[in-house]
Structure 1
Amino acid sequence: MQFYYGSQMPLRVLDEAEFWKEQESEHTVVMRELMSDLEQEYVDALKRWEDVLNTTHQQVKRYVETVVRSDNQLSPQLYQQVLELVTFCLQESVAFTQFCRQVKSESKAATANPTARVVIDHIIDESDYFIGIAQTILYNKH
């Protein structure tokens, strides 16, 4: 993400969160499809993650619409809510990457599938990219 957006920054970080929450949700499907022999506990957990990430994605979309309608003139309360939402998204992504690492290291289906391990690493890297963006925004604002 570029940092020359100035006053557009709240909208820009929400755009990033919207994109990455959708990606993380899709990644749960990729992992399930890639490992047809994935243990049921991980299949169930990935389905739960998909639901949770979809819910967060929808919440971020609502905030994007609110910010757009406000012509990017955020009240202090709305600005604080945006920062809290970004914090939540960051924490959720950290938890998701931890879960992905767990699947990669503990699932027999993942450990026996070199392609799955590479894909899981890529999924983690993509979530880590968003985590870095969110941390930069939050640390620059506090």
Structure 2
Amino acid sequence: MQFYYGQQMPLRILDEAEFWKHQEEEHTVVIRELVSGLEPSYVEALKKWEEALSATHQQVVRYIESVIRTGYYVPYQLYQQVLQLVSHCLQQSLDFIKLCRQIKTESKAVSQNPTARVVLNHIIRESEYFIGIAQLLLYRK
């Protein structure tokens, strides 16, 4: 992510969050569909994550709409709210990665499915990519 967006930086990071929260939401479905015989506790956890990620995704979309309406000037209070939301998104991604790692290491169904392990590693890397972007913005303020 480049930092030449200037005043539009809040919109740029929200665009990233919108994309990655949607990706993570879809990843919950991918895991459930890919791993036949996935333990019910993981299936339920992934369904709950799907709901939580969807809710965050919708919240990000609402903030994008708010930032767009402000034009070229993003009020300080709105900017701070965007940073709080990005911080929430970052923490959510960290927690989602924990679940993915737990499934990868503890699920018997995954241990018998080499493709599932590869896909889980890919999902983890993608969430880590978003975390890197979010950290860059949050620690740059």
Give the TM bin, normalised by the shorter chain.
over 0.9
Q: For residue 26 of structure 2, what is the aligned residue in structure 1?
A: 26
Q: For residue 124 of structure 2, what is the aligned residue in structure 1?
A: 124
> 1:73 aligns to what SS in structure 2?
coil
> 1:4 aligns to what SS in structure 2?
coil
> 2:3 aligns to what SS in structure 1?
coil
* Counterparts of 2:3 and 2:94, CA distance in 1: 23
- CA RMSD for the aligned pairs? 0.7
Instruction: Tell me whether 1:92 sits opposite 2:92 in the alignment.
Output: yes
Contact 1:11-1:72 at 8 Å conserved across structures: no
* Counterparts of 2:26 and 2:106, CA distance in 1: 21
Contact 2:97-2:124 at 8 Å conserved across structures: yes
Contact 2:31-2:116 at 8 Å conserved across structures: yes
Aligned length: 141
Runs (5+) with no aligned partner, structure 1:
none
TM-score by length of 1: 0.97
1:75 shift after superposition = 1.2
* Counterparts of 2:50 and 2:57, CA distance in 1: 10
Amino acid at match of 1:125: R
* Counterparts of 1:61 and 1:27, CA distance in 2: 19
Amino acid at match of 1:27: H
Runs (5+) with no aligned partner, structure 2:
none
Q: For residue 2 of structure 1, what is the aligned residue in structure 2?
A: 2
* Counterparts of 1:86 and 1:72, CA distance in 2: 20
Instruction: Tell me whether 1:115 sits opposite 2:115 in the alignment.
Output: yes
After TM superposition, the runs of 4+ consecutive aligned structure 1 residues lying more than 4 A away are none
Q: CA-to-partner distance for each residue in 1:73-126, whole Å, 9 max, x for gaps? A: 111111110000000000000000011000000000111110000000000000
* Counterparts of 2:111 and 2:132, CA distance in 1: 28
1:72 shift after superposition = 3.8
1:44 shift after superposition = 0.5
* Counterparts of 1:86 and 1:73, CA distance in 2: 19
Matches within 5 A, 1:30-109: 30-109=30-109
* Counterparts of 1:113 and 1:98, CA distance in 2: 19
* Counterparts of 1:113 and 1:67, CA distance in 2: 44
